[in-house]
Structure 1
Amino acid sequence: SYQKGWQSVDEYLKQTAIVNPHVTIIYTNPKAEQFIFPRAIEELPELPKEIKPHPYGVELGMLLKMLQWTESNTVKAFLQKEFSRVSAKGADEILENARVNPKAKPKKLAREEAEKLIKGIRETKLMMPPTDCISPIGEEALIKGLKKEINAEFYAACTRPPAVYRGNPFQIEAAIAYGGNQSTERAAMVMRFANKVPLLYQQGACAATESIAKTSWKGYGLQQSNGNLPQGPVTIVVHMASGWVPFTSEAKEALAHYPEIVKEVKLGLQEVGRKLSKYTLKKRRVGDELKKRSYIEKYIPHLAAALKDLLELSDGQEGIVEDELKRLLEKERGQVEDMEFDASKNKEYDEEFATIGKEEERAGDDA
């Protein structure tokens, strides 16, 4: 049956629109309600380039299939033709380490010889795969997408440099939306994506969630108990772009816990955390300064009145003295930036868009 809420089709499409801000989605649900998710940017993302698999990422089952599919007549030619970053010299080293005849026919290799090939690949130093096969969202586009959904007072995003796990290139992006009209009485809202596709299930089993929980958010101005998600008015986004995203199961609901991936996610979170920390510290300093000024300003009328009595000033002169004291306070202390949240400042916020799928209470995803 048709349902709304955190794990609904409505929410799935909304999150898809957030991380694909160049797309307009028009959706009519089973209740004949039509929703339009308008694009936030006009520029299309760069198209990723197709690459062949890298030897470091191949597993035995896939290698056996590739050996049967190939049109190459020798194992050496097979390694050079079917994989990226394998030169003639690299193929010779792999075969020497594997102790497999370079002229052997791929289709006739037994499972035992394929296992030797895998071992030879692991023992051979090869160039890392190219990274132009990845399609990240981009920091600016990610923030624009978030602004449609969340009317926050502060946004930050980062796109990490490409990295490699088991021969597979990947790129991590992280973003944060803080404050504004978000609830202060809940744990952080977590949005997870793989190749710009929302991951709505198995949040607790995901490497992204683990990385968020293991990041020390107290240093960035958020409340957090040990090993848990941070608390407060904050939404945290993690996106993994890769030609081969590792999931915990065939359902493709959570990112697998590879050390390289967990490390990159944490680095991305720390980068946006540092940006958040600068903002929260600045806001705290402004708040402290306003308290001091308010304390001083309370005494200005009393001081002006005292000067009136001492100098026998008129009422009009007393007002001039009071204004001059306020001007001197402003000059001495300097101007203070207005950091109060103004809900009308975010011109990209779409209230109708933000409420789609929220008719039901959002429940935590431990399934």
Structure 2
Amino acid sequence: MAKRVTAETLSRRQREISVSEFFAKNRHLLGFDSLRKALLTTVKEAVDNSLDACEEAGILPEIRVELDAAEGENRYVVRVTDNGPGIVEAQAPRIFGQLLYGSKFHSLKQSRGQQGIGISAAAMYGQLTTGKPVSIVSRTGPRSSAYAMQVVIDTNTNKPKAVGKKKLDDWDLDHGTRVELELEAQYMKGRQSVEEFLHQVAVANPHATLHYRDPHGAETDYVRGVQSNPVAPSEIKPHPHGVELGVLMKMLQSTRHATISQCLSRDFSRVSPQMAVGLAKRAGIDPKARPNTVVRKAADKLYQALNDSATRIRPPSTDCLSPIGVQELLAGLTRGIRAEFYGVETRRPAVYRGNPFQVEVGLAWGGDLPADDLAKVLRFANRVPLQYLAGSCCITKAVMDVSWRNYGLTQSRGALPSGPLIVLVHLASVWVPFSSESKVAVADYDEIRKEIKLAVQTCGRRLGQYVKRKARAKSEARRREVFNLYIEEVVNSVEAITGKDQKLFRDRLLAISRKKTELAGMLEEQEASSDELEASENVLVVDPNAE
């Protein structure tokens, strides 16, 4: 019989687990569950940081990504350089060497990063698999010196340690940052590759210039197609409809405001002073009471008052969002996607759980796209490409919900449509509901799925008009060919009977043929009412035969 263990003995075994120690053992949660995915995740996190930094500083991004094979099997060096504002030297160790450290987690505005995990997780993975620290070079301006350092992560305490600090007098950039790390990874081209990721980054970020060099030395450049940065999003305060009871109680305890009415009107968005007084009274709370004196029962009543259907609180402000934009999305789609029809649609901002979000959709059809494959869905969240778990993503499900047969395409039940089609969906939000910490798929919220479907349907109707018009043109050409074939037979027979040249007769018959087929086409055009397609600035049609 096993010896009984006392509670005191069990208690001595318990100890705190640091967040870096947890993720070191559960790296798959952060996107490092395979060698190939580890390489893509590392590049993604570094590029995301660079784009965010440049945009926040008002600098048009120019980013260089370099991959080099390192000594040993499945070892690669990832080097990402940007022209951003640089990093203050004292902050660099924590940015690259401490998980859950960042500036965006508590900020309600659109940004690529959210959790403060990404680049530090990549550095931790590189350290775990190769034993080498992450290297950083940065400079904050032409009048300051560049510095270099290496950062080691203590996974037991989630604390960084900077080593090898030195000043650089000859760094070639006036401002910017270079991050370099070696990791165990696998390089492959094709789907879910670094090349595909960077191409999609170029599509969703037409204001950025990207330079890429693969491990074999091949260079690829994506020159910006838009000469201005996106409109910078503004930070907003929490909306009452997106705050849960526990969060409300925490806000009441930690607020700096003296009264409950001031707390409600100044710590929340869309709550006026008059509304704050009314809400407090409905909850049985004195509007002048100190917020930290509100007990749980009273806070629960206040929470119910905030979420009561009779409480009319305006949706949150949407200036916290920065969508790609119609013309910018068209510029991005034409950047490396050779099609003949491009259509885009931007929905009005909507709200889920009190969080503003906005959906943009783009379609590319025809041209050089493969005609026999299923449509390709490009998924983006806050301008970041999503490469994995497409089947479980809300975006893919919404695209599959659309009845593409209505737009002249073939589609099997419960599947994507078939044909030369690319569907791009961009979800912009202050807080994207990712299905996991690796941020590769969007959770399935009804409000988000509905907005995506409506935007796709709008683009689909325009595509359907174009596809049907093209089919009618082919049909008209076939009818004319049949007429012309019989015209020649008739003319030849008449010439054989009369013994005279019937050129005038042939010309008259050809004119009748053109008139009849054009008349039929015009009638069909009127039935299709395609004025919307012709007048829409959301559509670009390119001659597929043009160079």
TM-score bracket for the superposition, by shorter chain length: 0.7 to 0.9
Give the match's secondary structure for 1:190: strand
Residues 1:132 and 1:287: Cα distance change in structure 2 (over 3 Å): same
Counterparts of 1:135-174 in structure 2 under 5 Å? 135-174=322-361
Which residue does the alignment assign to 1:265? 452
Which residue does the alignment assign to 2:442? 255
> Cα deviation per residue 1:142-175 (whole Å; 9 max; x = unaligned)?
1221122321121111111122222222211111
Q: Distance in 2 between matches of 1:168 and 1:326?
A: 64
Letter in 2 for 1:46: V
Q: Is the 8 A contact 1:96 1:120 kept in 2?
A: no
Residues 1:229 and 1:74: Cα distance change in structure 2 (over 3 Å): same
Give the match's secondary structure for 1:92: helix
Task: Compare 144-153 and 23-32 and name the one that shifted more.
Answer: 23-32
Q: Distance in 2 between matches of 1:109 and 1:327?
A: 88
Report the CA distance between 1:273 and its aligned residue.
0.8
Which residue does the alignment assign to 1:14? 199
Report the CA distance between 1:211 and its aligned residue.
0.9
Question: Does 2:464 align with 1:280?
Answer: no
Counterparts of 1:114-193 in structure 2 under 5 Å? 114-123=299-308, 124-193=311-380
Counterparts of 1:56-71 in structure 2 under 5 Å? 56-71=241-256
Question: Does 2:506 align with 1:322?
Answer: yes
Task: Compare 301-310 and 102-111 and name the one that shifted more.
Answer: 102-111
Residue among 233, 251, 254 paired with 1:48: 233
Which residue does the alignment assign to 1:355? none
Residues 1:344 and 1:107: Cα distance change in structure 2 (over 3 Å): farther
Residue among 460, 463, 479 paired with 1:292: 479
Q: Distance in 2 between matches of 1:268 and 1:237?
A: 11
Question: Does 2:425 align with 1:241?
Answer: no
Question: Does 2:86 align with 1:86?
Answer: no
Give the match's secondary structure for 2:478: helix
> Cα deviation per residue 1:312-367 (whole Å; 9 max; x = unaligned)?
31xxx344543443234224433989xx995453x6xxxxxxxxxxxxxxxxxxxx
Letter in 2 for 1:6: R
Task: Compare 172-181 and 56-65 and name the one that shifted more.
Answer: 56-65
> Cα deviation per residue 1:157-207 (whole Å; 9 max; x = unaligned)?
111112222222221111111122222222210011111111112211111
Which residue does the alignment assign to 1:305? 492
Question: Does 2:413 align with 1:229?
Answer: no
Q: Is the 8 A contact 1:100 1:116 kept in 2?
A: no
Report the CA distance between 1:18 and its aligned residue.
0.2
Q: Distance in 1 between matches of 2:478 and 2:326?
A: 36
Report the CA distance between 1:291 and its aligned residue.
1.5
> Cα deviation per residue 1:290-317 (whole Å; 9 max; x = unaligned)?
121111111122111122234331xxx3
Q: Distance in 1 between matches of 2:407 and 2:438?
A: 34
Q: Distance in 1 between matches of 2:432 and 2:396?
A: 16
Task: Compare 233-242 and 49-58 and name the one that shifted more.
Answer: 49-58
Q: Which has the higher contact order (CA 8 A, sep 6+)?
A: 1
Give the match's secondary structure for 1:40: coil
Q: Is the 8 A contact 2:476 2:518 kept in 1?
A: no
Give the match's secondary structure for 2:425: strand
Residues 1:112 and 1:185: Cα distance change in structure 2 (over 3 Å): farther
Report the CA distance between 1:118 and its aligned residue.
2.7
Residues 1:50 and 1:213: Cα distance change in structure 2 (over 3 Å): same
Letter in 1 for 2:280: L
TM-score, L = length of structure 1? 0.84
Report the CA distance between 1:238 and its aligned residue.
1.0
Would you say how many aligned residue pairs link Structure 1 and Structure 2?
A: 341
Q: Is the 8 A contact 1:57 1:168 kept in 2?
A: yes
Residue among 379, 385, 388 paired with 1:198: 385
Identity %: 43
Residues 1:171 and 1:287: Cα distance change in structure 2 (over 3 Å): same
Give the match's secondary structure for 1:134: coil
Letter in 2 for 1:118: Y
Give the match's secondary structure for 1:334: helix
Q: Is the 8 A contact 1:73 1:105 kept in 2?
A: yes
Letter in 1 for 2:359: I
Report the CA distance between 1:69 and its aligned residue.
4.1
Question: Does 2:261 align with 1:76?
Answer: yes
Q: Distance in 2 between matches of 1:287 and 1:334?
A: 12
Report the CA distance between 1:5 and its aligned residue.
2.8
Report the CA distance between 1:104 and its aligned residue.
3.7
Report the CA distance between 1:48 and its aligned residue.
2.3
Report the CA distance between 1:135 and its aligned residue.
1.1
Q: Distance in 1 between matches of 2:219 and 2:355?
A: 40
Which residue does the alignment assign to 1:356? none
Letter in 1 for 2:223: P
TM-score, L = length of structure 2? 0.58
Give the match's secondary structure for 2:363: strand
Question: Does 2:210 align with 1:25?
Answer: yes
Residues 1:32 and 1:82: Cα distance change in structure 2 (over 3 Å): farther
> Cα deviation per residue 1:8-32 (whole Å; 9 max; x = unaligned)?
2222221111011122112334444
Report the CA distance between 1:122 and its aligned residue.
0.7
Which residue does the alignment assign to 2:34? none
Question: Does 2:302 align with 1:96?
Answer: no
Q: Distance in 2 between matches of 1:100 and 1:7?
A: 55
Give the match's secondary structure for 1:52: coil
Gaps of 5+ in 1: 348-367
Q: Distance in 1 between matches of 2:215 and 2:257?
A: 52
Give the match's secondary structure for 2:220: strand
Residues 1:53 and 1:32: Cα distance change in structure 2 (over 3 Å): farther
Give the match's secondary structure for 1:276: helix
> Cα deviation per residue 1:252-306 (whole Å; 9 max; x = unaligned)?
2222222221111111011011001111111121122112111111112211112
Report the CA distance between 1:112 and its aligned residue.
5.0
